[in-house]
Structure 1
């Protein structure tokens, strides 16, 4: 009988000791820095302002790509000499107005235009070699046109991305590259993006999916854009 009472006493003390340790002792001791090396610190982990901004920008970029991808067109050109070049353009209006670079549709060349991977016939409505812009018209209707950014609100250091079409073995793929605005000139927007020439003619967009300009790519891969204000003036919008 005494043995049973002894065991019950030990059990009761054990239960009370466990409650004391769980509710009082452990929370108190976890506040002490001596336990930090052992991973016992369960305090709230705070996300910094910079981390929040990065998460928000990444989410916004993903949403912007999904919002604008159907307005990007691919262009493939074969010149008189047989040289093949590739680039992109973008849909301006739902009734089939498309803008691209003049260098992608040179006179006397054979050009193909692709919308959502399908080849589409087109005609050149207007072209300016000096401005390096060309306005095209496709027969497709109910297309997705892009919104234009307010040029006056574009800032140096603003996050931007380019979205264009590339092809491989006859199959077209969407491609994106991002960076920031490095300099804003009267006739161009300079970025810190480096890219292959196959994405020239693609739109430069902000993280809201608004068009800042049409991309040109130098021989060293540096990306600059013809400002959207100049594009609108050329088109007559």
Structure 2
């Protein structure tokens, strides 16, 4: 019995030691795992701010506004009824009296007709030792006086070297030497989640620092600019100030906020510094920006259209219209083509094309790759200079009798010769009535159908044959012409 008790006791000792060993091993492993996980903390921005804030400036502007002469000014008390005429008009007169001949009086002096008033406050930053400063165009646009105040309180009068309203960039200069410019960074190296700072003058509070992270890269807003989106607090007065990384380099210019209240709501947009410096070079040399153009209007390629025309992925820029006699027309680009490359640069999103073409020097011969009827074609285009305006041709109602409605829900007719000539198109059919799938897709009476999938439409009879042979299980890509532009519309035939 005693021997059995001893055995049980030793067994319990053994179990205790094994359990203790397991617990200690687990604790050791947990400690090692915890040690391998990096401990993150909010960075200290004091050194970055100390290095950069002296190069950020406050910009205030003035403008001249017309002022109506006051009856209480010089000479205002010579006529006891002048005060009433100031309110009720120059022909006012008390009952029984003739109007005073004020219309023949000498005109007020220029000083009495205009006065200079404060226009707005913005920010900017120094980019050279000899006084060149970058800011937004909307900060200085329309100003008759630009005043730059440094962090030490010194104030200078600035002159505009050049502006570019399209990118909202302005280059100004003050008469100063030995300034400390901010180092220019590389905005292409930015990543989501990276810490950045904004320094500026929100509501006129100069040298204000705010921080946040990069929320998105290449944010499209319809302005053909790939904005940097951040959650850095930016308010009126921050415009034109720098967006700075933790190395103290400028990676963007704070330009816009997305807000429903007019104040900061967590979304700020900055112009990438790479885009800015390309503009600055031209502003310095010429005072303006010259951009390339090829004479096309473009749109987005949807995934349905991409599949229907055999492109696969939704990429490139769909050509909606080609300017007659323009660079693209001379190169052989057609409406409905999808431009996938320009000078070996991939067009991943349709808004990439205007930036790439705009940055190309006019006169340059560039290679352009287009997707047409299931194949890639290489063309050579001589880049022109961006024009100021374009003309379009309006569609008219069809003159000839239409066909019966088909599986697309369309009634069409041959395009009148006069309209073909004015629109610069060959073949096609014009829509007279729309119902069913095409009505849902957005096709309207007066539209001209040029192509279905990869087959050009010649006339109403051939159109009917093409529609009859469509696969009713998948959407057809219909290329339409409307108001001088073309676009692909996916339409699924009715079963």
Q: Same fold (TM over 0.5)?
A: yes
Match of 1:105 among 140, 155, 170: 140
SS of the residue aligned with 1:230?
Answer: helix
**TM-fit CA distance, 1:123:** 1.1
Q: Give the gaps of 5 or more residues in structure 2.
A: 1-34, 66-116, 219-224, 283-495
Contact map agreement 2:202 2:235 (CA 8 A) in 1:
no
Going by fraction, where is helix more abundant, 1 or 2?
Answer: 1
Shift, 1:219, TM fit: 5.8
Deviation at 1:197, TM superposition (A): 1.0
| 1:151 CA drift (Å) | 2.3
* 1:189 maps to 2:213: no
Q: Give the Cα separation in 2 of the matches to 1:236 and 1:99.
A: 12
Q: More relative contact order in 1 or in 2 (CA 8 Å, sep 6+)?
A: 1
**Counterpart in 1 of 2:38?**
49
Which string of whole-angstrom CA distances, capped at 9 and with x for unpartnered residues, describes residues 51-73 of structure 1?
A: 4x43xx11xx1111000011101
Paired position in structure 2 for 1:20: none
Count of residue correspondences = 183
Q: Residue 134 of structure 1 corresponds to which residue in structure 2? A: 170
Aligned to 1:205: 244
- Residue pairs, 1:22-171, within 5 angstroms: 49-51=38-40, 53-54=41-42, 57-58=43-44, 61-81=45-65, 82=117, 84-116=119-151, 117-165=153-201
Which residue number in structure 1 is paired with residue 269 of structure 2? 224
Instruction: Give the whole-Å Cα distance in 2 for the aligned partners of 1:156 and 1:80.
Output: 44
Structure 1 distance, partners of 2:182, 2:60, is: 22
- Equivalent pair of 2:132/2:174 in contact (CA under 8 Å): yes
Instruction: Work out whether residues 226 and 272 of structure 2, in 8 Å CA contact, stay in contact via their aligned partners in 1.
Output: yes
Unaligned runs of 5+ in 1: 1-45
Cα separation, 2, equivalents of 1:96 and 1:167: 25
Query: 1: distance between equivalents of 2:209 and 2:131?
Result: 23
**Partner Cα separation in structure 2 for residue 223 and residue 167 of structure 1:** 16
Three-state SS of the structure 2 residue aligned to 1:145 is coil
TM-score, normalised relative to structure 2: 0.35
Relative to its length, the structure with more strand (as a share) is: 1
- What CA distance in whole angstroms lies between the structure 1 residues aligned with 2:203 and 2:229? 26
Shift of 1:111: 2.4
8 Å Cα contact 1:72-1:165 kept in structure 2: no
CA distance in 2, matches of 1:174, 1:88: 9
Q: Distance in 1 between matches of 2:191 and 2:257?
A: 22
How far does residue 167 in structure 1 lie from its aligned partner after superposition?
7.0
Cα distance in 1 for residues equivalent to 2:211 and 2:59: 21
Q: Aligned equivalents of 2:164 and 2:47: distance in 1?
A: 34
Deviation, 1:166, is 5.1
Residues 125 and 136, structure 1, Cα contact 8 Å, conserved in 2: yes
Query: For residues 175 and 256 of structure 2, what CA distance do their matches in structure 1 show?
Result: 29
For the residue of structure 2 that corresponds to 1:112, the secondary structure is: strand
How far apart, CA to CA, are the structure 2 residues paired with 1:120 and 1:216? 23
Per the normalisation by structure 1, the TM-score is: 0.70
Q: Call closer, same or farther: CA 1:127–1:64 in 2, change over 3 Å.
A: same
Question: What secondary structure does 1:149 align onto?
Answer: coil
**Pairwise CA distance, 1:107:** 2.6
Equivalent of 2:213 in 180, 183, 187? 180
Q: 1:187 to 1:161 in 2, by over 3 A?
A: same
